[in-house]
């Protein structure tokens, strides 16, 4: 991948946050450093970073894609109330590839899972 300052600034922005931002959130933050950048450029660069394995894209059902700098083996919970995305690390999920391989004879390379529901804070609000 050829060096591009725009892409470098975008990558730094994704790296600096843990809130699984949308392209729009990255765009608004990057605008302060590169005032003439467009949302399309930000989106294109984010996807290039995903293709090169530098960041991860999380597809959220019925909502915008999210971007994550943390590449370690973890899955996500999407709160349909506050629209936040949270990390889940569970031993049950870590062993799931082996279980599926045994049941199907497929070779599993990766899996993506998004759990939807309500986060702890939104659950408390409901009580
Ligand atoms: Zn919530
Ligand atoms: Zn994550």
pLDDT tens sequence across 101-126: 999 999 999 888 999 999 999 999 88
pLDDT of residue 3: 87
DSSP the chain: ----HHHHHHHHHHHT--S---HHHHHHHHTTTSTT--HHHHHHHHHHHHHTTSSEEEPPTTS--EEES--SS-EEEEETTT--EEEE--HHHHTHHHHHHHHH-PPP-----EEEE--HHHHHHH-
Over residues 25-71, the pLDDT tens digits come to 999 999 999 999 999 999 999 999 999 999 999 999 899 999 999 99
Reported as a single tens digit per residue, the pLDDT across 68-81 is 999 988 999 999 99
Mean pLDDT of 9-32: 96
* pLDDT the model gives residue 1: 77
CA of 8 to the centre of ligand 2 (A): 21
Q: Which ligand is nearest to the CA of 122?
A: 1
- Distance (angstroms) between ligand 2 centre and the Cα of 65 equals 12
Which architecture does CATH list for 75-126?
A: 2-Layer Sandwich (3.30)
Distance 92 CA to ligand 1 centre (A): 23
Return residue ranges of the chain for CATH 1.10.10.10.
5-68
The matching CATH number, chosen from 3.40.50.1010, 1.10.10.10, 1.10.3720.10, 2.70.98.60, for 5-68 is: 1.10.10.10
CA of 89 to the centre of ligand 2 (A): 9
Task: Give the pLDDT of residue 122.
Answer: 96
Mean pLDDT across 77-92: 93
CATH 3.30.1490.190, the chain: domain bounds: 75-126
- Nearest ligand to residue 112 Cα: 2
């Amino acid at each position: 991948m050829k060096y591009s300052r725009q892409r470098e600034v975008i990558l730094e922005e994704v790296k600096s946050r843990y809130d699984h931002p949308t392209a729009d959130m990255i765009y608004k933050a990057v605008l302060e450093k590169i005032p003439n950048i467009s949302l399309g450029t930000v989106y294109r660069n984010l996807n290039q970073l995903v293709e090169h394995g530098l960041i991860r894209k999380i597809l959220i059902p019925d909502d915008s894609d999210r971007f994550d700098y943390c590449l370690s083996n973890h899955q996500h919970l999407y709160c349909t109330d506050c629209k936040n995305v949270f990390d889940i690390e569970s031993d049950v999920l870590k062993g799931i590839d082996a279980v599926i391989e045994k049941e199907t004879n497929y070779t599993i390379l990766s899996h993506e899972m998004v759990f939807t529901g309500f986060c702890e804070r939104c659950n408390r609000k409901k009580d």
